[in-house]
C-alpha cells in the first residue's frame, strides 16, 4: 500500500481579523483617545497573535476548519472555491509558510510552492542575478541553479535581456523568468496558486504544458485557480472549498460543475436584473428585463453549459403597457470581448406581441458550438412599431463552458485556437485524376 | 492547550523506506500546531547556506549599485564621521584620546560602531522589509536577520583598509593583540545577532520598534566609548570607578571598542574585564533571542 504524498487531518486555521475602530463624536473624546490609543493599539496588535480570550469573539475567523484529505503520489488535484474560501490559506499551511491552529499535515518528499512568480526579485539586479536569488529562495542550491541556468533562460525566452536589470523588463517578461526558474525545480510535490493569471496566452499554454509534464513524471501537483478551463484540463480530481471547509469532492468535471451550479444558486439571489441601476441600462423603460439565465438539457439552471448539448437562454421581463411587435436579441461575447454571435429574432422574421405584465422569452440553441471558456451575454428588446429601444443590458449573464461533447470525441479545439466550433466532415479520395478535378 | 503557549514545529523524520541522509531520500515532514519552547534549527540554516550567500550578495550589490562612488561610500561614511568628531570633540571640546591623535582614536572606534549600528538597523528591519518573500515561500526565517550581519562585513572590510592607511600615516604600530581581533569581531556580530533576533520579531509585530531602534541607536553611540575613552570615567568619578566599570562592561560595545583600541593602538591594556562582561550580555541576548525568535516564528506570516 503506497503511502499518500499528502495526508491532512482535521486541519484548522484561525485568524484574527480587523477590529473596528472607535468613533469619536467630540473633540474631547478624540483627544482622550489620542492618549489611550497606544494602549488600545497595543492590544489590537497583540491580539493578532494571542488568542487566550474568549474563543467566540466575532473578530476571530476560522479561515479553514476541519479539513481532511489524502492525495497520492502522481495525482493532480484542483482546489476551487469563491474568494475567501480558504484556498490560499490551505496552500500556505501545506507549504509551511503559516502554521495550523488545529490538526496536522504529513507530507512525503520535497515541496515547492508557487504562490507567486518571481518571489524575491530585485528591480535593480539583472535577470541573471535574480535567477540565482529566486532559485535559492525556492530552495535550490547555487550549483543546481547554475547547472540549469541555460535551460531556464531558454524556457523564459528573455534571451539577450538576461544581463539587463529586471526593472527594464516588461511585467510579462518578469513573470516568464520567474516561472522559468520555478519550472526547473524538481519537487515531489508542486503547489501552485493562481500564478498564471498574468502572462500572455502562449506562455500560459507553455506553463500548463510544463505542469502537465511534471505530473506525468509521477510528481504530485496541487493547483488553485479561478479559471475552470485550466482546472479541468490539468487536474484529475478537485475539492470545492467554501467557508474554510471542503463541501464537495470528486472527479474534476463533476466537481467543477457542482461548484459552478452552487455559485449560480448563490448568485440568483444576489443579482436580479430588476435591481440593476437605471444608469447601466438603455431603453425607455417600458419593458424591463427582470432576470436572465441558462437552462441545460435536463431543464436545470446552469452557469456551466456543455458544448455540443442543447441550452436555452431564458429572459424574463415585466412590461409597463401593451407592446405590439417587440423583438428580442442577444449577443454572446467571449473572454476577450470579441462578439461571437448575435441571436436575433429578425433573423427569423418574427416578433412577439406583448401584453402589460410579466412574461418569459426562451431562445434555444440546439447544439452549443463554443469552445471551453468564459462568456458574457448582452440582451436587448426593441419596439419595432415606434423603433424605440425598450431595454438593453450590457452584461446580463455570464457563463463558462467547461466541457464539450460537440464532436463526440475527446478532442475539441480550445479557445486559443477557435472562437466557435464548426460542424464539419472529412472525406478522402485516392489516385485523383487531374482532368476530372474542378479547376 | 492555548495556542499562545505553542511553538512552531515541523519535524522531519526519515521515512520508513529511505535514509534522510541520501539526497534521493523521500522525507516525511509532519506539520503541527506549535508546541512549547524550542531552540532554533541550525542544521536547517546550514542546508540553506546558499540562500544566505545570495541574499548577502544581493544586499551588497543593491547597497552600492546605481551610486557614482559605489564602494567609495563605505570609505566616505566613517571618514566623514571621523572628521566631524575630530573637529567637535577632539579640537573644540578637548575630549582626551589616550595619547593618540584624536582622528585615529575615533576612527578605530567607528569601525566596530558603524558595523554594529548598520547590523542593528538591518536585522531589526530584516523581517519587515522581506515580508513579501517569507509570506510566499518557506525557508528558515532565521536566514533573514543573518543577512545584514554578512553584508555589513563588506563595508567593515573596506573601512578597515582605510584604518591601515591612517595607521601608516600616523606611524602607529599595532600591538600583538591584533591576533585577538577576530574574537572581538565575533563578539560584535554576536551582539548584533542577539539584539536582531529580539528586535526583528518585535518590529514585525509592532512597527514602532523600528523607529525606536533608529532613535536609540544614536543614544547608544554616545553611551559607547566612541567619542570618549573609558579612562574618562576614572578621571571624572574616581571613587566609584571599579564598580561602574564592571557594570559598564555589560554593554558589549564597551569591551569591543576599547578592545579594538587596545589591540590596534595600544592606548590601554587589553580590557579583559569589559570584554568578559560584554560576552555574557551577548550570549544571553543571542540565546534568549533565539528562543524568542523560534517561538514567534510561526506567527510571522500571519501578522506580516
Ligand atoms: N493573515 C491573515 N489575517 C487575517 N485573516 C486572513 C489572513 N489571511 C487570510 N485571511 C482570511 O482568511 C480567509 C481565507 O482567505 P484565503 O486567502 O485563503 O482565500 P482564497 O480562497 O485564497 O480566496 P481567493 O480566491 O480570493 O484567493 C479570508 O477571509 C481572509 O480574509
Ligand atoms: Mg487566494
| Minimum distance, in Å, between the CA of residue B235 and any CA atom of chain A | 43
Average pLDDT for residues A428-435, to the nearest whole number? Answer: 81
Q: What is the pLDDT of residues A98-153, one digit of tens each?
A: 999 999 999 998 888 888 888 888 888 899 999 999 999 988 899 999 999 999 99
Q: Nearest by CB to A105, from B3, B31, B133: name it.
A: B31
Radius of gyration of chain B (CA): 22
CB B1 within 8 A of CB B258: no
Select from A299, A306, A332 the least CA-distant residue to A401: A306
Average pLDDT for residues A60-85, to the nearest whole number? Answer: 91
Query: Ligand 1, residues A86, A194, A244, A247: which to mutate, most atoms within 8 A of Cβ?
Result: A86
Q: What is the pLDDT of residues B247-274, one digit of tens each?
A: 999 999 999 999 999 999 988 899 999 9
Select from B151, B135, B126, B292 the least CA-distant residue to B203: B126
Mean pLDDT of chain B: 86
| Minimum distance, in Å, between the CA of residue A203 and any CA atom of chain B | 22
Q: SS3 for B173-237, per residue?
A: CCCHHHHHHHHHHHHHHHHHHHHHHHHHHHHHHCCHHHHHHHHHHHHHHHHCCCCCCCHHHHHHC
Which is more confident, B21 or A423? Answer: A423
Q: Nearest by CB to A106, from B30, B65, B133: name it.
A: B30
Q: What is the maximum span of chain A, computed from C-alpha positions, in angstroms?
A: 103
Mean pLDDT of chain A: 84
| Domains, chain A, ordered by start | 6-17+50-263 (3.40.50.300), 280-404 (2.70.50.60)
CA distance A416 to B273: 76
Cβ A110–B61 below 8 Å, yes or no? Answer: no
pLDDT band at A336 (very low <50, low <70, confident <90, very high): confident
Torsion angle (degrees, nearest 10) of CA B198, B202, B208, B214: 20
With H, G, I as helix, E, B as strand and everything else as coil, classify residue B36: coil
Q: What is the pLDDT of residues A186-204, one digit of tens each?
A: 888 989 887 766 667 777 7
Which protein residue's CA is at the shortest distance from atom 17 of ligand 1? A88
Sign of CA dihedral A104, A107, A112, A116: negative
Please count the residue pairs, one from chain A and one from chain B, whose beta carbons lie less than 8 angstroms apart.
Answer: 132
Select from B173, B131, B146, B117 the least CA-distant residue to B59: B146
Highest mean pLDDT among A2-6, A65-69, A81-85, B75-79: A65-69
Q: Which residue of chain B has the CA closest to A193?
A: B136
| Minimum distance, in Å, between the CA of residue B290 and any CA atom of chain A | 19
Q: What percent of chain A has pLDDT over 90?
A: 39
Q: Is A266 on the interface with B (CB under 8 A)?
A: no
Percent helix, percent strand, percent coil in chain B, to nearest 5: 70, 5, 25
For residue B302 and ligand 1, the question of a CB distance below 6 A is answered with: yes
Name the phi and psi angles at A306, rounded to 5. Answer: -100, 135
Sign of CA dihedral A263, A264, A267, A269: negative
The pLDDT value given to residue A293: 87
CB B123 within 8 A of CB B149: yes
Cβ B298–A106 below 8 Å, yes or no? Answer: no
pLDDT band at A296 (very low <50, low <70, confident <90, very high): confident
Query: Ligand 1, residues A14, A19, A49, A89: which to mutate, most atoms within 8 A of Cβ?
Result: A89
Q: Nearest by CB to A116, from B48, B66, B136: name it.
A: B136
The pLDDT value given to residue A415: 82
Q: Is B139 on the interface with A (CB under 8 A)?
A: yes
- What is the whole-number distance in angstroms between the Cα of residue A97 and the centre of ligand 2? 14
Return left, alpha or beta for B106; rule: phi > 0 is left, psi -120 to 50 is alpha, else beta.
alpha
Q: Nearest by CB to A108, from B15, B55, B66: name it.
A: B15
Cβ B4–A101 below 8 Å, yes or no? Answer: no
Cβ A136–B50 below 8 Å, yes or no? Answer: yes
Q: Which residue of chain A has the CA closest to B64?
A: A124
CA distance B277 to B254: 10
A71-85, A403-417, B83-97, B155-169, range with the lowest pLDDT = A403-417
The pLDDT value given to residue A32: 66
CB A29 within 8 A of CB A209: no
Burial category of B168 from C-beta neighbours within 10 Å (exposed 0-12, middle 13-18, buried 19 and up): exposed
Secondary structure element (H or E) that encloses residue A391, with its range: strand A388-401
Average pLDDT for residues A360-367, to the nearest whole number? Answer: 93
The pLDDT value given to residue B72: 80
Select from A289, A257, A269, A261 the least CA-distant residue to A380: A289
Model's pTM, two decimal places? 0.74
CA distance B98 to B105: 8
Q: What is the pLDDT of residues B124-172, one digit of tens each?
A: 999 999 999 999 999 999 999 999 999 999 999 999 999 999 999 998 8
Q: Which residue of chain B has the CA closest to A188?
A: B26
- According to DSSP, the residues that pair with A81 across neighbouring strands are A241
Amino acid at each position: 500500500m503506497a503511502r499518500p504524498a499528502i495526508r491532512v487531518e482535521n486541519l484548522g486555521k484561525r485568524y484574527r481579523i480587523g477590529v473596528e475602530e472607535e468613533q469619536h463624536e467630540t473633540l474631547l473624546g478624540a483627544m482622550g483617545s489620542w492618549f489611550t490609543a497606544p494602549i488600545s493599539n497595543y492590544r489590537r496588535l497583540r491580539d493578532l497573535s494571542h488568542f487566550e480570550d474568549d474563543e467566540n469573539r466575532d473578530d476571530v475567523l476560522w479561515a479553514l476548519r476541519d479539513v481532511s484529505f489524502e492525495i497520492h503520489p502522481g495525482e493532480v488535484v484542483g482546489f476551487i472555491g469563491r474568494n475567501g474560501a480558504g484556498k490560499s490559506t490551505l496552500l500556505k499551511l501545506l507549504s509551511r509558510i503559516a502554521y495550523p491552529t488545529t490538526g496536522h499535515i504529513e507530507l512525503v518528499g520535497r515541496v515547492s510552492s508557487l504562490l507567486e512568480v518571481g518571489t524575491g526579485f530585485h528591480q535593480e539586479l539583472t535577470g541573471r542575478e535574480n535567477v540565482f536569488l529566486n532559485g535559492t529562495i525556492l530552495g535550490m542550491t547555487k550549483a543546481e541553479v547554475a547547472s540549469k541556468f541555460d535551460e531556464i533562460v531558454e524556457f523564459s525566452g528573455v534571451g539577450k535581456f538576461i544581463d539587463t536589470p529586471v526593472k527594464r523588463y516588461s511585467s510579462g517578461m518578469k513573470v516568464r523568468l520567474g516561472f522559468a526558474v520555478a519550472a526547473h525545480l524538481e519537487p515531489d510535490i508542486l503547489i501552485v496558486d493562481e500564478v498564471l493569471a498574468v502572462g500572455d496566452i502562449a506562455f500560459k499554454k507553455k506553463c500548463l504544458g510544463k505542469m502537465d509534464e511534471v505530473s506525468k513524471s509521477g510528481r504530485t501537483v496541487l493547483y488553485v485557480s479561478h479559471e475552470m478551463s485550466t482546472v479541468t484540463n490539468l487536474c484529475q480530481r478537485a475539492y470545492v472549498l467554501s467557508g474554510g471547509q471542503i463541501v464537495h469532492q470528486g472527479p474534476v468535471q463533476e466537481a467543477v460543475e457542482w461548484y459552478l451550479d452552487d455559485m449560480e444558486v448563490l448568485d440568483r439571489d444576489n443579482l436580479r436584473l430588476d435591481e440593476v441601476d437605471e444608469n447601466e441600462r438603455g431603453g425607455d423603460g417600458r419593458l424591463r428585463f427582470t432576470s436572465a439565465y441558462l437552462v441545460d438539457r435536463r431543464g436545470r439552471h446552469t452557469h456551466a453549459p456543455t458544448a455540443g448539448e442543447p441550452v436555452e437562454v431564458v429572459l424574463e421581463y415585466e412590461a409597463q403597457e401593451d407592446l405590439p411587435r417587440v423583438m428580442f436579441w442577444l449577443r454572446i461575447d467571449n473572454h476577450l470581448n470579441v462578439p461571437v454571435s448575435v441571436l436575433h429574432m429578425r433573423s427569423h422574421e418574427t416578433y412577439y406581441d406583448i401584453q402589460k405584465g410579466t412574461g418569459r422569452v426562451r431562445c434555444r440553441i440546439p447544439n452549443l458550438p463554443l469552445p471551453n471558456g468564459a462568456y458574457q451575454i448582452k440582451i436587448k428588446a426593441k419596439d419595432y412599431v415606434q423603433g424605440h429601444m425598450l431595454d438593453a443590458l450590457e452584461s446580463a449573464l455570464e457563463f463558462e463552458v467547461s466541457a464539450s461533447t460537440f464532436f463526440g470525441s475527446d478532442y475539441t479545439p480550445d479557445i486559443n485556437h477557435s472562437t466557435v466550433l464548426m460542424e464539419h466532415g472529412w472525406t478522402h479520395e485516392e489516385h485523383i485524376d487531374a482532368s476530372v478535378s474542378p479547376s | 492547550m492555548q495556542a499562545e503557549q505553542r511553538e512552531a514545529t515541523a519535524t522531519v523524520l526519515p521515512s520508513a523506506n529511505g535514509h534522510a541522509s541520501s539526497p534521493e531520500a523521500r522525507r516525511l515532514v509532519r506539520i503541527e500546531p506549535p508546541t512549547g519552547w524550542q531552540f532554533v534549527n541550525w542544521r536547517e540554516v546550514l542546508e540553506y547556506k546558499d540562500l544566505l550567500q545570495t541574499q548577502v550578495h544581493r544586499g551588497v550589490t543593491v547597497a552600492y549599485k546605481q551610486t557614482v562612488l559605489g564602494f567609495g561610500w563605505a570609505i566616505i561614511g566613517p571618514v566623514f564621521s571621523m572628521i566631524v568628531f575630530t573637529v567637535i570633540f577632539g579640537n573644540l571640546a578637548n575630549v582626551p584620546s589616550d595619547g593618540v591623535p584624536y582622528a585615529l582614536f575615533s576612527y578605530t572606534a567607528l569601525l566596530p560602531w558603524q558595523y554594529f549600528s548598520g547590523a542593528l538597523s538591518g536585522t531589526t528591519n530584516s523581517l519587515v522589509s522581506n515580508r513579501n518573500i517569507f509570506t510566499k515561500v518557506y525557508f528558515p526565517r532565521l536566514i533573514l536577520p543573518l543577512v545584514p550581519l554578512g553584508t555589513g562585513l563588506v563595508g567593515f572590510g573596506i573601512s578597515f583598509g582605510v584604518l591601515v592607511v591612517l595607521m601608516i600615516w600616523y606611524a602607529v604600530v599595532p600591538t600583538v593583540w591584533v591576533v585577538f581581533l577576530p574574537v572581538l569581531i565575533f563578539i560584535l556580530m554576536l551582539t548584533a545577532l542577539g539584539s536582531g533576533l529580539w528586535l526583528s520579531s518585535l518590529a514585525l509585530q509592532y512597527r514602532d520598534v523600528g523607529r525606536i531602534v533608529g532613535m536609540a541607536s544614536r543614544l547608544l553611540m554616545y553611551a559607547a566609548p566612541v567619542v570618549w575613552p573609558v579612562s574618562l570615567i576614572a578621571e571624572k568619578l574616581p571613587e566609584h570607578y571599579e564598580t561602574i566599570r564592571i557594570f559598564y562592561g555589560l554593554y558589549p560595545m564597551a569591551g569591543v571598542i576599547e578592545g579594538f583600541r587596545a589591540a590596534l593602538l595600544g592606548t590601554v591594556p587589553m580590557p579583559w574585564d569589559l570584554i568578559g562582561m560584554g560576552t555574557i550580555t551577548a550570549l544571553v541576548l543571542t540565546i534568549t533571542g533565539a528562543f524568542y525568535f523560534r517561538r514567534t516564528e510561526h506567527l510571522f506570516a500571519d501578522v506580516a
